[in-house]
């Protein structure tokens, strides 16, 4: 692979760590322009020194002095604040990895897209909240969106981009999460630790809870709707507990193409970092004989209502997905803080999408406004359910 420059937004998170692991294995091939975090100064400073980044940015301005002190004498510039985050995203780099969690990642990811960057997008909430705004900006600027999410990366690899009309269905696989076989009573009593104990993937707390409610799969359907030219009716979910097949694309002749691999985010991240080339990754190779069997089952919409809520938001379009996402972020944060029960998450999302009217959205400002309204309504719904 040729040498490249890279910026990692959300460098201190799970996807960020996997990205830096790959970069650290071939340091001569990478020039790291900028690494960003919210406020985890210790981890950010260690990472910035390890990969000799030119710039480190914390979104939270109150963390600036600590970052400056941690980088003193290294020659690495420090910056802070939301504007600095967008400036870092917009600055030239061959590839920008968008790995901030939540709608907070939207402005910097959009800034990179508006610059015409190649953006490796893990931050699915950006596409869920503002998919139309982001894809329109990409079409105008010539930006390339490469999906990091393992399912979308799989679809990207087997999708006939030149002939999308030949695709009949996209089937997104789901592990089923830690509560795939749990009773409703067990789910009602589930703790944050249990919800975050994913059976296959090791991920950040928010996406782990989303995987447990299956909201993650709903967000992924919306993400797929924006990344690939298919109608909502062409998108399906199948539960596949082994997480070996990362998704399927079905064609008009009945052929189904899939991408397989061990569940290690370094495979899809490496695909995006090297695109359109390929790079070696240390991901374990798939041992098919040891895997023995691949199983598939339909999702249980009764125990996992979040999936249906997300499908409804996708079909409604406009600001509906942004409202769903904002409510989910508020509810998941309250669940992780021990304030509400696991089943309250989907209930709060349902209350919020019922209370906030969806409308067309065409700009970042409109998305930010509806996101704020939905967060306030969801916070009220959360307060009513607080135990």
Chain residues binding ligand NDP by CB under 6 A are 10-16, 37-40, 59, 99-101, 104, 122-125, 149, 201, 203-204, 206-207, 265
Residue number of the CB closest to ligand NDP reads 13
Shortest Å, Cβ 46 to ligand NDP: 12
Q: How far is the CB of 119 from ligand NDP (least distance, A)?
A: 13
Of the pair 42, 277, the CB lying nearest ligand NDP is at 42
Contact yes or no for 97/9 (Cβ under 8 A): yes
CA torsion sign for 109, 112, 115, 120 is negative
Buried-state track 117-130, b at ≥16 Cβ within 10 A, e below 16: bbbbbbbbbbbbbb
Give the count of beta carbons closer than 10 Å to the beta carbon of residue 159: 22
Which CB sits closer to ligand NDP, 217 or 303? 217
What 3-state DSSP class applies to 5?
strand
Bridging pattern class, strands 256-260 and 245-251: antiparallel
Residues 268, 320: Cα–Cα separation, whole Å: 29
Of 114 and 210, the one with the shorter C-beta distance to ligand NDP is: 210
Select from 147, 106, 131, 198 the least CA-distant residue to 15.
147
Q: Which two tokens stand for residue 181?
A: 């076989």
CB 381 within 8 A of CB 334: no
**CB-neighbour burial class of residue 323 (10 A; exposed 0-12, middle 13-18, buried 19+):** buried
Shortest distance in whole angstroms from residue 201 CB to ligand NDP: 6
Q: Is there a contact between 18 and 39 (Cβ–Cβ < 8 Å)?
A: no
Contact 381, 327 (CB under 8 A): yes
Give the residue with the Cβ less far from ligand NDP, 14 or 319.
Answer: 14
| Minimal distance, residue 332 CB to ligand NDP, in Å | 11
150/223 Cα distance (integer angstroms): 12
Q: Which is nearer to ligand NDP, 37 or 274 (CB)?
A: 37
Nearer to ligand NDP, 149 or 344 (CB): 149
| Nearest distance in Å: CB 286, ligand NDP | 18
Closer CB to ligand NDP, residue 59 or residue 343? Answer: 59
CB of 162 to ligand NDP, least distance (A): 27
Minimal distance in Å, beta carbon 251 to ligand NDP?
Answer: 26
């Amino acid at each position: 692979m040729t040498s490249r420059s890279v910026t990692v937004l959300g460098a201190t998170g799970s996807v960020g760590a996997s990205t830096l692991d790959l970069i650290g294995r071939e340091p001569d091939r990478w020039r790291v322009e900028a690494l960003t975090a919210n406020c985890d100064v210790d981890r950010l400073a260690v990472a910035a020194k390890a990969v000799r980044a030119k710039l480190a940015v914390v979104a939270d301005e109150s963390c600036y002095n600590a970052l400056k002190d941690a980088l003193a004498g290294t020659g690495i510039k420090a910056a802070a604040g939301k504007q600095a985050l967008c400036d870092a995203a917009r600055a030239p780099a061959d590839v920008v990895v968008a790995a901030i969690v939540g709608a907070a990642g939207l402005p910097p990811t959009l800034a990179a897209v508006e610059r015409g960057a190649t953006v490796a997008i893990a931050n699915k909430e950006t596409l869920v909240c503002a998919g139309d705004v982001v894809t329109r900006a990409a079409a105008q600027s010539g930006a390339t969106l490469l999906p990091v999410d393992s399912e979308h990366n799989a679809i990207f690899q087997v999708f006939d981009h030149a002939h999308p009309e030949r695709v009949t269905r996209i089937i997104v696989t789901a592990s089923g999460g830690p509560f795939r076989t749990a009773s409703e009573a067990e789910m009602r009593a589930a703790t944050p630790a249990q919800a975050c104990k994913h059976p296959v993937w090791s991920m950040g707390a928010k996406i782990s809870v989303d995987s447990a409610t299956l909201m993650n799969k709903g967000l992924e359907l919306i993400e797929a709707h924006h990344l690939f030219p298919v109608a909502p009716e062409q998108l399906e979910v199948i539960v596949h507990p082994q997480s070996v097949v990362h998704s399927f694309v079905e064609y008009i002749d009945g052929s189904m193409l899939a991408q397989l691999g061990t569940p290690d985010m370094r495979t899809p991240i490496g695909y995006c970092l090297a695109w359109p080339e390929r790079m070696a990754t240390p991901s374990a190779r798939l041992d098919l004989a040891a895997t023995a069997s691949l199983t598939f089952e339909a999702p249980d919409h009764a125990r996992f209502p979040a999936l249906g809520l997300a499908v409804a938001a996708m079909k409604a379009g406009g600001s509906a997905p942004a409202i769903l996402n904002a409510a989910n972020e508020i509810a998941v944060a309250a669940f992780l803080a021990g304030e509400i029960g696991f089943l309250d998450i989907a209930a709060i999302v349902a209350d919020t999408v019922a209370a906030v009217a969806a409308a067309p959205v065409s700009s970042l400002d409109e998305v930010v406004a509806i996101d704020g309204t939905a967060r306030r309504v969801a916070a009220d719904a959360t307060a009513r359910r607080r135990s």
